[in-house]
Chains A and B, each alone.
Chain A
């Protein structure tokens, strides 16, 4: 395995981590707002708060890690993506900033108002939508390189069905992942009403999630045939991913083994995510930038990988401790302990 591949695999893994933890976070905010709107907030709020409170800052770090890492391993991405993404990423940044800070303001500062709960829930859906634009752009066809620099063709971008398929996929997956996780969490907390409600949401969102995922493969056939043919070559990976999806839905319908159901879901998304990423190889931005011509020098790559391994040595035990103390602590999950400063 070359250093380039190690680099992109590490980054892709962290992006996957962000997709999962951020989906849980964004979806939780949306379900919380939706339950307020429907007048049954009492069922969900406590479960959601209890999970989110100790881990909210950690979510953000996965994203920071990814974008710092990609500029580190592939400095040319700063030039290509940095120039064209100014507007969509700035919008995502503003939303992330408002969302993150108002979470802290309401949770710790007691600043409670219905308006904020709605804003919080909705902003959580706009962020994945604005970030997923990056995936669309990476497929090529929206960026032109002229004499004055790179230009992003917004009109082509916003009229492309591919863009909207990816946006729909990101929204549906956010809500699906979140609902499945929270079903499991509510079940652990022995909170029957919350479990039932979230299970319903999970089953509901599984449908658009799988339809839009299939839709994108079809869209790509017209948009980027090269990528499409690579996808078809590894169709069996998507087949396995679909079987895992079916397993999750089956367990949810039968009200059985929610923990295993979430495990299958993580497997489903991981396989699909890596199959998609692998078929994108070797392009970072089609057709301008491949992982080979965008890669940093060997000395920096080695240093980054050493730093990465040392960092993981520090992080994994810490993350384990965090999960032990909260996610897997019976007293905490069931609400017998809070111990908040």
Chain B
């Protein structure tokens, strides 16, 4: 196997591992916050249903954490195994947040273990709630630190290159690079948003499948509210990300928008197809790209033609960008209408078809996460470190990457099937109604 094949298979394997990992990782970042909110509401309102929500989510959460941990370990090592030249160079500058991420992960792992095994141990439930705070903080901070590493790859800084050597290294400057604020904020808000929509879709599904329990209605309403808040936040941060791109990575923005000529009053292209460099069938929104890029309708936006042929990303990222934004918009509208509908007692929000739309919302949110990452990552091709190291210089020279790809594909298939099977079985066997009545009996037993 030649070097070109090694590069290709390294890219495919990294993409596969990350695409699989982020499903579980996103859930891992978002769910602890939802569990915390549910438990807190349960204590505040003295409502058994919210406590049970926290408990059942926790049980499912453990399964996703397990897969998240093992695939996270895989990608952690694959960085060095598949991209040794990259890690050798970047390790000098960006090791600090990577290192800090393991601390956040450690912190979360310890307290998750404690939280899981102390459900009825404390008289005072507030003590138990306190254990969740380090879990949620640890989960979110792992995302913060690892997003910083990714942000660095997009906007490397914090060092000088003199005669091919890295000098004047400043780890903090590397961590807080221009891409960090928008990247970290967008990763966090979309993780919370996705988790909320996943939990909402579970609630809606149970309601559709015959259970009419108030427990599911409370879960659904709570999650749609949280989903709405974070989808609005994601959209606002997404807009800031557009402004970041215009300033620091104009080639990514231009490729995403098929913006070829540098010009003012730039229109935004929605949909469309590219045919020999001509954009066809696209919906043109006048001035929108200028507004997205710089906040004013006549600002000049740099076009793709300003860049060398071998420094621009593939143009198909336009479709990824469009799909991600559309799903985000759709979920915002869906949750907004649902919440208004519940307040104003519009009956259609509790009908079958609307609930099916909510059920669809969870998978759609996950899809948007995947597509968003593909957009972000493919959008910085051909660079692994933008402007400094090309992807093809970074990959391993080992000739066995194709075999490893087959091996890991089989692994992820097994993990996917296993986790889905276990999760469905776990909740199908032990329904809410069953668990509530069990707990009731237990309480009465204690009182007697």
Contact = CB atoms under 8 A, between A and B. Distances in A.
A282 interface: no
Nearest to B95: A72
Interface string A79-105: 111111111011101101110111111
A315 interface: yes
B100 A311 contact: yes
Contacts of A299: 169-171
B114 A325 contact: yes
B99 interface: yes
B415 A101 contact: yes
A283 B403 CA distance: 31
Interface SS, B side:
helix
Interface residues of B, number: 82
A321 interface: yes
A14 to B, nearest CB: 10
Interface in A180-215: none
B119 interface: yes
Given A83-B396, A315-B106, A341-B116, A307 B99 contact: yes
A65 B107 CA distance: 12
Contacts of A69: 99, 102
Nearest to A337: B121
B22 to A, nearest CB: 16
A75 B165 CA distance: 14
B70 to A, nearest CB: 4
Interface in B408-440: 408, 411, 414-415, 418-419, 421-423, 425-426, 429
B114 A54 contact: yes
B419 A101 contact: yes
B113 A54 contact: yes
B12 to A, nearest CB: 14
Interface string A294-321: 0011011001100110010011001101
B263 interface: no
A257 interface: no
A60 interface: yes
A341 B58 contact: yes
Given A110-B425, A304-B99, A297 B117 contact: no
A322 to B, nearest CB: 5
Interface string B73-102: 110111111111101111111011011111
Interface stretch (B61-69, B237-245, B275-283, B302-310): B61-69
A83 B397 contact: yes
Given A57-B113, A58-B109, A67 B91 contact: no
B91 A297 contact: no
A64 B89 contact: no
Contacts of A93: 73-74, 77-78
Contact of A67 (B63, B76, B172, B419): B76
B296 interface: no
Contacts of A75: 87-92, 95
B362 to A, nearest CB: 20
Place the interface of chain A in its size category: 35 or more
B105 interface: yes
Contacts of B426: 108-110
B219 to A, nearest CB: 17
Interface string A36-62: 000000000000000001111110110
A61 to B, nearest CB: 5
Given A54-B114, A71-B87, A315 B76 contact: no
B326 interface: no
A111 interface: yes
B351 interface: no
Interface of B: 3, 55, 58-59, 62-63, 65-67, 69-74, 76-85, 87-93, 95-96, 98-103, 105-107, 109-121, 134, 166, 169-172, 396-398, 400-401, 403-404, 407-408, 411, 414-415, 418-419, 421-423, 425-426, 429
19 contacts: A55-B113, A58-B106, A64-B73, A71-B79, A75-B88, A86-B400, A93-B74, A93-B78, A100-B66, A103-B66, A109-B423, A111-B421, A299-B171, A300-B93, A307-B96, A311-B106, A339-B120, A340-B119, A341-B58
Top-3 shortest CB links A-B = A75-B91, A72-B95, A104-B66
